[in-house]
Amino acid sequence: MSNASRIIRKRGGDQNIEAIHKVTDLLKTVHYGSITLHIQAGKVYQINRTESRRLAAAALD
């Protein structure tokens, strides 16, 4: 177990491990955008995904 894994388990327990797996899954699907973690008392309580859509230059004319 890595040092980072020990810290995550100590502070947030299995809830944060589950959040890390969810973020990993989201990273596979977001091409342009952001993923934001909201943390309270050392535990992830909300994950937001924002995806941007790019318009083709021809569509803007």
Alpha-carbon distances, residue 53 vs 23, 28, 30, 43 (angstroms): 20, 16, 11, 31
25-48 burial string, b = 16+ CB within 10 Å, else e?
eeeeeeeeeeeeeeeeeeebeeee
Domain annotation covers residue 58: no
pLDDT-based confidence at 33, cuts 50/70/90?
A: very high
End-to-end CA distance of the chain: 54
* Per-residue pLDDT tens over the stretch 3-27: 444 545 555 567 788 888 999 999 9
- Domain encompassing residue 45: 3-51
Domain annotation covers residue 56: no
Domain annotation covers residue 40: yes
Contacts 24+ apart (CB under 8 A), 1-8: none
Domain annotation covers residue 30: yes
Domain annotation covers residue 38: yes
Domain annotation covers residue 36: yes
Domain annotation covers residue 59: no
Number of domains in the chain: 1
Domain annotation covers residue 60: no
